[in-house]
Structure 1
Amino acid sequence: MMKKDSKVLIIGGGFAGARVAQDLAKAGFNHVTLVDKKDYFEVTYAALRTLAQPELGLRSRLPYAKFIQGHFHQGEVATLAPNHAELTDGSRLEFDVAVIASGSSYASLPLAKSQQAMQLSEREIELIDANQTLVQANNVLIIGGGIVGVELAGEIADHHPDKKVTLVHGGARLVPELSEKAAKVADKQLRKLGVHLIYNKRLTDQDPLLDQANLVYTCAGVTPNTDIMSQHFGHTLDDQSRLKVDGHFRVEGTQHLFALGDCANVPEGKLGYLADQQANALAKTLIALSDSKSPKAYKPNPMMALVPVGQQQGLVQLPFMVTTMNLMVNMKQKDMFILKSYKNLRAH
């Protein structure tokens, strides 16, 4: 039975995990532990722009120790067992209830989500180095035309109009996560910035485009971070390696495990603002269960997205339309939602 003095372990401190931790602590849960291999929270909405504007990154990252209201433990979970997490350093964290918010990763794009920089100071160096590498390149190749590839191409072409920027996409249109109208808008806006677009092409190792480029960014191949489940809970993963959950985020076949965000198969977009909404809903579910009440099921949202394409333009997909209205696009352009993210986490 869920109680407010239950030991709650939250694995992963991104938008989803950090929000659940904060909401539960505010609600009076006494034993909330957030574990993450990094010592800092990062507003990943801003990560691509920091490639061209490193100074923005100083505002988009914050040590967990400065704002997490429960207990923060820096460490990497190797395996999740039924009632404890085993860490790579050999230690273990006991729990009554676990929330898996381990997110996803781009193995080939540490710019978006770092795989190596576990300390805040290391991440700052990583991004400064990435900026210097970009500055020295004159021919940039971007592989993958999803939201990340489009946004990255826009940032580079806008901040560095002197560079040749080529985006190669394996499909017939950009942003396959979004509508056909959004794809056409993205195409038009990237071409306006001088980006060379190539569709329906999958590069081989010997492709001349790779030889010509000074710098290559691969913006494809997002992988859910669910390896920790394979030993004891492999049966709970779907064919995309995401955790199968019900309408209350409960992991299939369990009573005390919950999952959300990029690592769960919640039927909606894998975007930061939706991870935050899921986190708010999951916290309410756990609070209701601790009060012996029936929680409301989560209602997935239709796909919406705000995609900057450079500093002055972008597109917004809503359930009923796609728009480029400055009023809406500038909501994100102002500070890449950094302050909004901190406000949601009560970290401002």
Structure 2
Amino acid sequence: MSSTVVVVGGGYGGTTVAKALDDVAEVILVEQKDSFVHNVAALRGVVDPAWSERLFLPYDGLLSRGRVVHARAERVEPGSVTLSTGERIEADFMVLATGSTYPFPAKFDIDDAAGAKARLAETRTALQAADAVLLLGAGPVGVEFAGEIRAAWPDKKITIVDPASDVIVGDFPDELRAEVRRQLEELGVEIVLGASLAEEPPAEPGRAKTFTAQLTNGAEVTTDIWFRCFGAAPATDYLGGDLAADRRSGGLVEVRDTLQLSGQERVFALGDVTSIPEAKKAKAAEDHAVVIANNIRKLIAGETELETYRVGGPMIALSLGPNGGAGFIPERGVLGAEMVSRAKSADLRTTFYEELLGVVRPASDRG
């Protein structure tokens, strides 16, 4: 009998590891959303209605032998998953791939694609009517959202506010930050650093309401709509039994370099839930998934020498609308708008994920 592998979470890493093991094990992918959500392209989906359909991909073509169960994992212990439906699934191997939560619209807290599309349409309508937009956070989400808004609506006033001393904080060269600032300034985006809002806004994020915000540096910003562009939190509240001991106070899970949880030979974790000291990106989750899939194959075959995951140097690719962007690769240095746009911005790797999930689009629908 083949081994049963339960993958909890159907995001970038979860789908990758499930697909990779479909030919060697009975794979069960547990995912509460009814569609794969291509979060990397979510911000473009806010400003461009043509992208709304491309954000949500069916899971039907992902697995040829395994199955996808749409339910929430209520409790995960070594060897078993209890679902929100009451079903309990026994597993020989488990992969924790539930990722992280993040404020809308970078990520969705709605499980059905139809509801998420409706929320996108509401936000787009409100954003289109706004003359001034306030983005709280000068990290990747805030920067990329500013670029998408400017590409769709050239005349809006866009302000980014962040208490940090610069944009895109982290282990990146100052040349990258200078290039990002240059492009934002060229786009007419105002950047206010070293300051935050003196009090919470009088409206929910993404909802139309004109107000004047007082900043901690004494300045004021008047806006018609605002968005929170910070606040990722790992989704690991379902861990129970011995697995709960590997969960840090902030929710991250401790893993060994083989991506196994400490004290566990058959439980692995990947992506945003891990305590690995690196940027939480889709590419990192996919790289983790490859190592995990190879290690589970080895364990199924009775091998004991497992692969290890090594953290690479800091890399980043930021889209600033379909035709702009900046990035950094240690081997090549800072990348400009043309290279990033060619590599990421135009398609945002959507075709790659459509192929991974076996989605066939009519030629007229492909961007």
Give the structure-2-normalised TM-score.
Answer: 0.87
Structure 2 distance, partners of 1:78, 1:110, is 23
Give the counterpart letter for 1:292 in structure 2: G
Query: Paired residue for 2:306?
Result: 295
Give the counterpart letter for 2:248 in structure 1: D
2:305 counterpart of 1:310: no
Q: Which one of 203, 209, 212 corresponds to residue 213 of structure 2?
A: 209
Q: Deviations over 1:50-79 (max 9, x none)?
A: 111121231232111233332100001122
Structure 1 segments of 4 or more deviating over 6 A? Answer: none
Give the counterpart letter for 1:25 in structure 2: D
Query: Paired residue for 1:256?
Result: 266
Q: Secondary structure at the match of 2:135?
A: strand
Structure 1 distance, partners of 2:33, 2:241, is 23
Give the counterpart letter for 1:5 in structure 2: S
Pairing of 1:135-284 with structure 2 (within 5 A): 135-177=128-170, 178-205=172-199, 208-209=212-213, 212-229=222-239, 232-284=242-294
Query: Paired residue for 1:19?
Result: 16
The answer to whether the Cα contact below 8 Å between 2:134 and 2:160 also exists between their aligned partners in 1 is yes
Q: Deviations over 1:191-229 (max 9, x none)?
A: 111111100112122674278322111011100001112
Structure 2 distance, partners of 1:333, 1:212, is 30
Structure 2 distance, partners of 1:8, 1:309, is 39
Q: Which one of 86, 90, 93 corresponds to residue 90 of structure 1?
A: 86
- Shift of residue 142 of structure 1? 0.4
Q: Which one of 72, 76, 79 corresponds to residue 72 of structure 2?
A: 76
Structure 1 distance, partners of 2:76, 2:132, is 44
Q: Which one of 346, 354, 359 corresponds to residue 334 of structure 1?
A: 346
The answer to whether the Cα contact below 8 Å between 1:145 and 1:168 also exists between their aligned partners in 2 is yes
Decide whether aligned partners of structure 1 residues 126 and 279 sit closer, same or farther in structure 2, where only a CA change above 3 A counts.
Answer: same
Q: Deviations over 1:285-343 (max 9, x none)?
A: 11112112222211222121111112221112101411205134321122111012333
Structure 1: runs of 5+ lacking an equivalent: none
Give the counterpart letter for 1:91 in structure 2: E
The answer to whether the Cα contact below 8 Å between 2:253 and 2:273 also exists between their aligned partners in 1 is yes
Query: Paired residue for 1:49?
Result: 44
Pairing of 1:62-73 with structure 2 (within 5 A): 62-69=57-64, 70-73=66-69
Structure 1 distance, partners of 2:173, 2:247, is 28
Question: Could you say what the CA RMSD is over the residues aligned between the two structures, in angstroms?
Answer: 1.9
Q: Deviations over 1:70-99 (max 9, x none)?
A: 210000112212322222233322212110
Q: Which one of 106, 112, 124 corresponds to residue 112 of structure 1?
A: 106
Q: Secondary structure at the match of 1:66?
A: coil
The answer to whether the Cα contact below 8 Å between 1:138 and 1:164 also exists between their aligned partners in 2 is yes
Q: Secondary structure at the match of 2:54?
A: coil
Q: Secondary structure at the match of 2:239?
A: helix
Q: Secondary structure at the match of 2:310?
A: coil
- Shift of residue 347 of structure 1? 4.7
Structure 2 distance, partners of 1:301, 1:237, is 24
Decide whether aligned partners of structure 1 residues 151 and 230 sit closer, same or farther in structure 2, where only a CA change above 3 A counts.
Answer: farther
The answer to whether the Cα contact below 8 Å between 1:18 and 1:68 also exists between their aligned partners in 2 is no
Structure 2 distance, partners of 1:156, 1:246, is 41
- Shift of residue 179 of structure 1? 3.0
Which deviates more from structure 2 when the two are superposed, residues 88-97 or residues 203-212? 203-212
Query: Paired residue for 1:322?
Result: 334
Which deviates more from structure 2 when the two are superposed, residues 227-236 or residues 277-286? 227-236
Which deviates more from structure 2 when the two are superposed, residues 11-20 or residues 123-132? 123-132
Which deviates more from structure 2 when the two are superposed, residues 209-218 or residues 164-173? 209-218
Structure 2: runs of 5+ lacking an equivalent: 202-211, 215-220, 361-367
Give the counterpart letter for 2:19 in structure 1: Q
The answer to whether the Cα contact below 8 Å between 2:8 and 2:95 also exists between their aligned partners in 1 is yes
Structure 2 distance, partners of 1:100, 1:204, is 38
Give the counterpart letter for 2:161 in structure 1: V
Which deviates more from structure 2 when the two are superposed, residues 80-89 or residues 331-340? 80-89
Which deviates more from structure 2 when the two are superposed, residues 199-208 or residues 134-143? 199-208
Structure 2 distance, partners of 1:233, 1:290, is 22
- Shift of residue 230 of structure 1? 5.4
- Work out the number of aligned pairs and report it: 340
